[in-house]
Structure 1
Amino acid sequence: MKKAAVAWVSVAGGPALALWCVSLEGALLVVSGPGEQSAPGLADAAEAQVTLRGDHGGRIVTWPARVSRLVPGTEQWESSAPLVAAKRLNAPGTTADLVARWAADGCAVTRLAPAGDPVAGAGLPAGSLAEVPRETPAVRATRKPFRLHRVRRR
């Protein structure tokens, strides 16, 4: 978990979303909200499922997590939010500016702490867990290539 930069998080049996995270004190911290990544339902959830994958893309472990939201102005916020902001890549401004923006815009800094035994090797499903692609208006029919003249074969 210490090396994790991305975790797959599922809330209330919903689809697992790939979320940028930071490992801190035995838990993962995730930032979501306006101007940050979208994590519907995570800020208000009490529990979630976290899946971590290895360098090869395969699942290493899935574990249940206890979800708690850090509140701006508290001691936990003051000690954790700047550390998370320092790890945030491509953020405009300084770390202090980023933390202030998170507090002002209502962004959620959420802590995911392990809440039970992980599902290990034998407990993982043997079949594929691939989901059917979601419907999108971006799909369009593929056309045949345009040709100006007839191609002769010899």
Structure 2
Amino acid sequence: MPESQAAHSLVEEATKKSGLVWVRGTGRARPVWHVWLDGAAYLVGEGPGEQPLPSGLVDGASAEVTVPSKDKRGRVVSWTAEVGELAPGSPEWAAAVAELRSKRLNAPDGEAMVDRWARECRVLRLTVRQATTALPDTSLAARPAPTPATTRGPLPRFLARRRRGRTG
């Protein structure tokens, strides 16, 4: 089996089994849930109550996808994807939404979610362009995203006091 064919087989198998993948468009990579269908990953987002999608995922653009191991959470495979946005109501959109709907947990509107997706969300197809199983030479660690959260202040005095006089 040629290396590229083996890598594509690994992409398909790992992506099918993974509950989420990390996708990078033009900004930071974000974790997104997805389904694998007919050789591509499909995801829905950017609507009320749905997952935020990474910036730069527009029709015809490319994205980097990293698939983590389901048990160890380490990187299994990375692949470059071509992004395609599906038109609501098209046969491909209907097939993708049927699969996405079956995997969507805790939908706030139940059966009406498909209509909401058609009106307010984007359904994207990520098609494999190139895959690699080679590990990078450098760390892929990224700085934490900026946040308004702060560290807490000092503990209240009654919690910070040591217990004295007890030796055991």
TM-score range, shorter chain: 0.7 to 0.9
TM superposition shift of 1:150: 8.2
The amino acid of 1:21's aligned partner reads: H
Aligned match for 1:113, one of 118, 127, 136: 127
TM superposition shift of 1:42: 4.7
Which residue is equivalent to 1:56? Answer: 72
- Using the alignment, how far apart are the partners of 1:72 and 1:152 within structure 2? 69
Q: Deviations over 1:22-63 (max 9, x none)?
A: 111111111111221001435415110000010201100000
Which piece of structure 1 moves more, 63-72 or 32-41? 32-41
Unaligned runs of 5+ in 1: none
Unaligned runs of 5+ in 2: 1-14
- Using the alignment, how far apart are the partners of 2:76 and 2:54 within structure 1? 24
Which residue is equivalent to 1:15? Answer: 28
Which residue is equivalent to 2:158? Answer: 147
Secondary structure, in 3 states, of the residue corresponding to 1:2? helix
Report sequence identity in percent. Answer: 39
| Structure with the larger helix share | 2
* Pairs within 5 Å for 1:54-93: 54=69, 55-93=71-109
> Any runs of at least 4 consecutive aligned residues in structure 1 with deviations exceeding 3 A, and if so which?
92-95, 147-154
Matched, 1:102 2:117: yes
Give TM-score, length-normalised by structure 1.
0.84
Secondary structure, in 3 states, of the residue corresponding to 1:19? strand
Which residue is equivalent to 2:17? Answer: 3
Which piece of structure 1 moves more, 127-136 or 26-35? 127-136
- Using the alignment, how far apart are the partners of 1:43 and 1:132 within structure 2? 22
* Pairs within 5 Å for 1:116-135: 116=130, 118-120=131-133, 123-135=134-146
Which residue is equivalent to 1:137? Answer: 148
Matched, 1:31 2:44: yes
Q: Aligned pairs, how many?
A: 148
- C-alpha spacing 1:51/1:151, structure 2 compared with 1 (3 Å): closer
Q: CA RMSD in A?
A: 2.2
- Using the alignment, how far apart are the partners of 2:99 and 2:152 within structure 1? 47
